[in-house]
Amino acid sequence: MKKTSTTLIFLLTVTLTSFAQVDRSNFKAGLNAGIPTGDASEISRFSVGLDLNYHYGVSKRIDIGIATGFLNAFGESQTISDGILDIEAEFEDYQIVPVAGSLRIYPTYDLKFGADAGYAIGINEGNDGGFYYRPILGYNITGNTEVNVSYTAIENEGTFSLVMAGILFLF
């Protein structure tokens, strides 16, 4: 746990320091929560995360940028039965730090859609990370606040996927 916390603090410090050098009007930070789907739902029931991104407007309707953050899917206990024996399995938390390119398209001022794609760095022991992608749909509820829904997936000899909802704040 100490190793995970130290790594997270280091990565967030590096990320925030790098963002301090750019125009902050396009820097967004927020929180998300999600429900694991598919195979991931067998080892976790809930996730929380932090989103950090910076977008640069290439036109009035298109932004490109970078995205990172932290995601923790809470592991849970599960009883596995073969009809004769019941075995209690304990799954650890699944933790990643995504490092991704980001694209957002604005059909209207309030509505946006896009995707993040890159690599998810596995933080917890035994987590190798993998290819990361996250299609996203967002809505501006004020000029500085956005709510969004997304599908997040990490591919590495299988898929760890989540359906998520979040809130972002423009700084």
Percentage of residues in the chain having pLDDT higher than 90: 67
> Quick one: pLDDT band at residue 165, thresholds 50, 70, 90?
very high
> Average pLDDT of 137-144?
94
> Quick one: pLDDT band at residue 24, thresholds 50, 70, 90?
very low
Whole-model pTM: value is 0.81
Q: Which residues pair with 146 in a beta bridge?
A: 140, 168
Phi and psi at 26, nearest 5°, equal -115, 15
pLDDT at 126: 87
Report the distance separating Cα 36 and Cα 44, nearest Å.
Answer: 6
> Average pLDDT of 143-152?
95
Report the distance separating Cα 26 and Cα 60, nearest Å.
Answer: 13
Query: In this structure, are strands 62-75 and 94-105 parallel, antiparallel, or unpaired?
Result: antiparallel
Contacts (Cβ under 8 Å, ≥6 apart) of 91: 43, 44, 75, 76, 77, 78
